[in-house]
Amino acid sequence: MNIENEDYKNIPGWGMDIDLDNEPTYPMKNYTGDDHKRSDYERSEQQKVDVELLKSNERPQYSVVFGNTVPPSGLSGMIRRYAFKHSEDRYRHWIPLIMADRVNAWEGIIEDLAKGIIPNVLAERGIKSELRYNAKGFATKILVTAAVSVLMIAWIRNKKK
């Protein structure tokens, strides 16, 4: 850390009212002063980076351990790589990540189909419990959707005429 005035402790009044108990994060934080050592602490052995790992540009190195699940791939992966070029402060980081998640949901369906799996979307959404505990709500939703669809179709047909 660069301290411009090395003699700061000789400034009149310096440190007179230090009160370590006046720590706004107490009792969550047991303040030791180690914060001023920054990243100078004993680190464990670095986990081997054997998958593509997107790293926040707000830190210089990978964390000692990390999750190696679901590395970026496909179109969503391209969007995620773009997002990680920007800091966590920027919308250009977070909004592309949300977009990538939506794209990724479609990629998941394609991935399933490529493996010969037809995703049972209704089961994945918990249709069994829906029918058991919310049959009325489910039926209402179906009826409203059907009614809106019929009205839309009728409106489009009328417009064509």
Partner 1 sequence: MLAMNYRGPFRVRAEQRPMPEILHPEDAIVRVTRTCICGSDLHLYHGMVPDTRVGSTFGHEFIGIIEEVGPLVTNVKIGDQVLVPFNIACGKCNFCKQGLYGNCHESNSMATAVGGIFGYSHTAGGYNGGQAEYVRVPYANFGPTVIPADMDPDDAVLLTDVVPTSYQAAEMGGIKEGDTVVVFGAGPIGIMAARCAWFFGAARVIIIDHIEYRLEFAKNYAKCEAYNFKSMADPVVFLKKTTDWYGADVCIDCVGCEAEGNTLQTFSGKVTLMQAGAATALQWAINSVKKGGIVSVVGVYGPPFNYVPIGNVLNKGITLRANQASVKRLLPKLIEHVQSGRLNPKGLITHRVPLEEISDAYNIFSKKLDECIKTVLIPSAKH
Point out which residues bind partner 1 (CB under 8 A): 24-25, 27-32, 34-35, 37-39, 41-45, 47-48, 53-56, 58-59, 62-70, 76, 80, 83-84, 88, 91, 94-95, 97-98, 100-102, 104-109, 111-112, 119-121, 123-126, 128-130, 133-134
CB of 1 to partner 1, least distance (A): 13
Measured from the CB atom, is 10 or 69 closer to partner 1? 69
The CA distance from 122 to 146, in Å, is: 17
Nearest to 64 by CA among 49, 85, 51: 49
Measured from the CB atom, is 64 or 153 closer to partner 1? 64
The CA distance from 134 to 136, in Å, is: 5
CA distance readout (Å), 82 to 66, 92, 107, 137: 20, 8, 18, 41
Task: Write down the H helix ranges in the chain.
Answer: 74-83, 91-114, 121-124, 127-133, 135-160
Nearest to 107 by CA among 81, 75, 69: 75
CB of 19 to partner 1, least distance (A): 16
Q: Which amino acid is at 138?
A: F
CB of 101 to partner 1, least distance (A): 6
CB of 77 to partner 1, least distance (A): 9
Measured from the CB atom, is 122 or 153 closer to partner 1? 122
Measured from the CB atom, is 126 or 154 closer to partner 1? 126
